[in-house]
Structures are given as structure tokens and as C-alpha cells.
């Protein structure tokens, strides 16, 4: 567990389906707060990272319930998070560009997505432009073989 991570308890009101969130705290603090909330009659949904809680809160309507299309935002967010685990340091916007490119390549019938992506990453780019290709080049250069720390 990383030392700097903050956690939030996601729970429902006592007599309401409205999602509520605790203040950020340590993992142990969030676990303790979740138990206390349950004893006080609240339905605890989960202990999540503060980042996840912020994303979830952004998808909620002011009166409760999810905004229209929130599940799609969540789906894309999960894809971007997974991509950024494999390629640390790639900003969200660049990850979305690469994922979009991969979708296009797949739809065009590309059999070897990895080679096609590498070709795109190393394609010439306009001078002075720092785009997704540069982010990917740095992430690939800094990548370690699986299992190495």
C-alpha cells in the first residue's frame, strides 16, 4: 500500500439512496470510519481511493443518482487507468489518443496492433509539437520488463 494514498468511505444515507462520501483519510482510518458508519445505521458501499471517489462524485446528479451516460465515462476511465498502468507517465489525453488510434487500427483489420502502434509512435511529427507520440516514446523507453522493480 502506498504511503501517500488517501481513501474515502462511500456510503448511502440512512433513509435515502443518496450516495455520500467521507473526507479523505488513511486506509486504516477509512476502514475504521466504515465500521462506525455501519454501526450508526448507514449502508457502506465501499472504501475507495480519493481519486476514485472524486470521479464518482463528478458523475452524480445534484439530487442523487447518476448523470446520463455516466457508465460510459466510467468505462473509458477504467480503460485509461489500465493503459496508464502499462505505460506510466502518459497523460490522460494522450492515453485517449492512443486508445482511439488502436480502435481505428483494429476496425481497419490490423492483425499486429503492437507493431502498428510502434510504427505510429515513431512516425515523424511536426517540429516543436509535443503530442501523444512523445509521451508514448518516453513511457516505452522507461518501461521495465515484467517483474522488475
Task: Kindly state the average pLDDT of the residues 100-104.
Answer: 91
| Whether the predicted pLDDT of 146 surpasses 70 | no
Q: Which domain holds residue 37?
A: 1-66
**Which of 66, 84, 104 is a domain's end point?**
66
Residue 18's contacts (CB-CB under 8 Å, 6 or more residues apart) are: 12, 63, 64
pTM here? 0.56
Same domain, 33 and 79: no
Query: What is the rounded average pLDDT of the residues 122-149?
Result: 74
Higher pLDDT, 1 or 39: 39
What residues contact residue 93 under an 8 Å CB cut-off, 6+ apart?
A: 132
Overall number of domains in the chain: 2
Check whether residue 30 and residue 91 sit in a common domain.
no
The C-alpha atoms of residue 128 and residue 88 are separated, in whole angstroms, by 23
Residue closest to 104 by CA, chosen among 120, 92, 93: 120
pLDDT in tens, 43-91: 998 898 888 888 888 777 776 666 777 777 778 888 988 898 888 888 8
- Check whether residue 73 and residue 59 sit in a common domain: no
Question: What pLDDT digit, counting tens, does each position of 29-46 carry?
Answer: 999 999 999 999 999 988
Q: Can you tell me the distance from the alpha carbon of 120 to that of 101, in angstroms, rounded to the nearest whole number?
A: 9
* Cα(140)–Cα(138) distance, integer angstroms: 5
Q: Examine the domain organization and report whether 49 and 36 are in the same domain.
A: yes
Do 12 and 42 belong to one domain?
yes
Amino acid at each position: 500500500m502506498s504511503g501517500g494514498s488517501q481513501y474515502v468511505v462511500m456510503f448511502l444515507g440512512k433513509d435515502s439512496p443518496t450516495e455520500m462520501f467521507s473526507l479523505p483519510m488513511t486506509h486504516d482510518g477509512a476502514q475504521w470510519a466504515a465500521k462506525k458508519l455501519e454501526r450508526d445505521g448507514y449502508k457502506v458501499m465501499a472504501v475507495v481511493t480519493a481519486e476514485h471517489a472524486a470521479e464518482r462524485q463528478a458523475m452524480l446528479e445534484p439530487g442523487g443518482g447518476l448523470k446520463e451516460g455516466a457508465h460510459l465515462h466510467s468505462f473509458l476511465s477504467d480503460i485509461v487507468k489500465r493503459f496508464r498502468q502499462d505505460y506510466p507517465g502518459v497523460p490522460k489525453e494522450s492515453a485517449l489518443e492512443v486508445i482511439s488510434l488502436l480502435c481505428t487500427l483494429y476496425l481497419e483489420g490490423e492483425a499486429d496492433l503492437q507493431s502498428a502502434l510502434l510504427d505510429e509512435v515513431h512516425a515523424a511529427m511536426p517540429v516543436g509539437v509535443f503530442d501523444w507520440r512523445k509521451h508514448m516514446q518516453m513511457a516505452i523507453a522507461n518501461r521495465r520488463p515484467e517483474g522488475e522493480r
